[in-house]
Amino acid sequence: MKFAGWMCVWFLLGAAVWAQSNCPLPPAIQPIPPGANLFSETQESDLGDVIAERLATDITVVNEESLNAHLREIGQRIVHYLPPAQFRYQFVLIELPGVNAFSLPGGRVYVARKLVALAQNDDELAGILAHELGHIVSRQAAVEVTRDLRAVLGITQVGDIHGDKLRGSGDICRGCRHISVRRISGARHREQGNLVC
């Protein structure tokens, strides 16, 4: 009888090892194709700051420090394992009518209080935060904004405003809240203009 029990254990252990050996590794973060994202990491963080300012009028942030501290602790444990980036990761607990979470370019993750309440444990909450951080690390929002700027306005470059010059790197949407853009119009004539964020 003991022999049959051990055979059963070895069979189950072998089946588990075999099943995991056929499991593919998670895909590596793929580099963004050249030109698919007009924004540097710093510019992307600044873009997220501007969007967050606009959101602040439409959402209510939960100001209970114990709840926010717990959310930040879980989030920062995940951030520790992310590739290096110049993003300013922040985890914000908010009031929403539904159960949801979302992220903004540059590192902000917003989580509805109801979602935290429905999570069975910290692992479930960590899974939600990891999902939202995946959007940030893969820079999905910046790629989508780039695509929209190109399609709708024909913009091919964003940068700082320094006098009459357009610089391709550095902070955008800081101070005067303008994004300097460069686009090519009809007869391949270069135009430079400003968009107010």
Asked if 190 and 71 touch (Cβ cutoff 8 Å), the reply is no
Burial of 96 (0-12, 13-18, 19+ CB in 10 A): middle
Token look-up 């973060």 returns 29
pLDDT score, position 23: 53
Burial of 185 (0-12, 13-18, 19+ CB in 10 A): exposed
| Whole-number Å distance between alpha carbons of 185 and 33 | 24
Phi then psi for residue 178, to 5 deg, are: -115, 145
Angular region, 82: left φ>0, alpha ψ -120 to 50, beta rest: beta
Most confident of 61-65, 168-172, 177-181, 186-190: 61-65
pLDDT score, position 28: 67
Point out the least confidently predicted range of 10-24, 33-47, 112-126: 10-24
Q: What is the pLDDT of residues 59-114, one digit of tens each?
A: 999 988 988 999 999 999 999 999 889 999 999 999 999 999 999 999 999 999 99
User: Beta 178-185 vs 155-162: how paired, if at all?
Assistant: antiparallel
| Whole-number Å distance between alpha carbons of 107 and 87 | 5
Q: What are the structural domains, with CATH classification, of the chain?
A: 41-142 (3.30.2010), 144-196 (no CATH)
Cα dihedral value 45, 48, 54, 59, nearest 10: -120
Kind and range of the H or E run holding 195:
strand 189-196
pLDDT score, position 31: 79
Residue with the bigger pLDDT between 146 and 171: it is 146
> Amino acid identity, residue 14?
G
